[in-house]
Amino acid sequence: MNVWIETLMNGLMLGGLYALFGLGLSLIFGVMRIANIAHGELVIGGAFMAFSIAGAVPLPPIMLVALVTALMFALGWAVQSALVNRVLGSDPLRPLLLTFGLSVLTQNLLVELFGADSRSLDIGSFKTAALTLGTLSVGLLPLVTFGLTLLLFALLHWGLHHSAVGRVVRATADDPEIVALMGVNRKQVFAGVMALSAALAALAGMLLAMRSTVTPFSGAERLLIAFEVVVIGGLGSIWASLAGGLALGLVHAVSFRADPASGLLYGHILLLAILLIRPEGLAGKRRTR
């Protein structure tokens, strides 16, 4: 019995990390209506940036995480301003191809700089520390990851719905042409959203590298998970990404326990089932426009 409770809890906490993978992708899609194929590389790029900084300067993990998150925020802003903003328009293929190109480029750049070995972020004994509740044992790192995810979702929700900047972001998502009449430069909004997406992705990437290992090629799998989170959860609110992430995490954890050889198979089956039964996603809204 305890095994299954632990499995469910592990699934939820894994799902929190998945939700964080999906959140940035969903933000980009919701505001700019583009699929960022390089999202997985933002996740993995964050982890590798942390490896190289940790190798050069020994920083406490929290400082390292904060620094990399800030740097990736700036990088996201720069990439959007210098590249992606130029190809936005009526043709959705152009940003798709551009981000695909960036994804391939980043992968090869990471291999060139770091080699193809798998690495992980060293956080000492914190990695294996566990909290014991009666007969249950829960990893401290997954627990902190989960709490941080919930906090970020809540902060983002508050920012989008109760701040002037959030209002501008939502209005831009509704009608990117008309916001110009309110004095809004939509390209700056897009740059800010990409920056936020990159920062969230990098944070998720570092949390991933703390609990397991990554290689320069790990991005594709994170992108796949991020896509599945967005499709399973649905579009229209950030909570949909959380719902999608938790659902996918639970399915992965349970299927791994019941059928260890199945890999990600049951997650993909969940995706197909959602597409067939509820194409707007678990918590998504049907678009009314």
Residue type, 48: F
CB 209 within 8 A of CB 119: yes
Which of 183, 260, 261, 277 is close enough to bind another protein by CB under 8 A? 183
Which of 13, 25, 75, 173 is close enough to bind another protein by CB under 8 A? 173
Per-residue contact track with another protein, 112 to 151, x per CB under 8 A? Answer: ----------------------------------------
| By CB under 8 A, residue 91 contacts another protein | no
Measured between alpha carbons, how far is 229 from 163 in angstroms, rounded to an integer?
27
Measured between alpha carbons, how far is 158 from 237 in angstroms, rounded to an integer?
12
Choices 139-147, 179-187, 190-198, 254-262; region in contact with another protein by CB under 8 A: 179-187
Helices (H), the chain: 2-32, 39-56, 61-79, 85-87, 93-114, 140-162, 164-174, 186-211, 219-233, 238-258, 265-277
CB 43 within 8 A of CB 219: yes
* Residue 205 CB, nearest approach to another protein (Å): 30
* Residue 172 CB, nearest approach to another protein (Å): 9
| By CB under 8 A, residue 163 contacts another protein | no
Which of 86, 167, 278, 286 is close enough to bind another protein by CB under 8 A? 167
**Dihedral angle of Cα 90, 91, 92, 95, to the nearest 10 degrees:** -100
Q: Which residues bind another protein (CB under 8 A)?
A: 164, 167-168, 170-171, 173-175, 177-185, 288-289
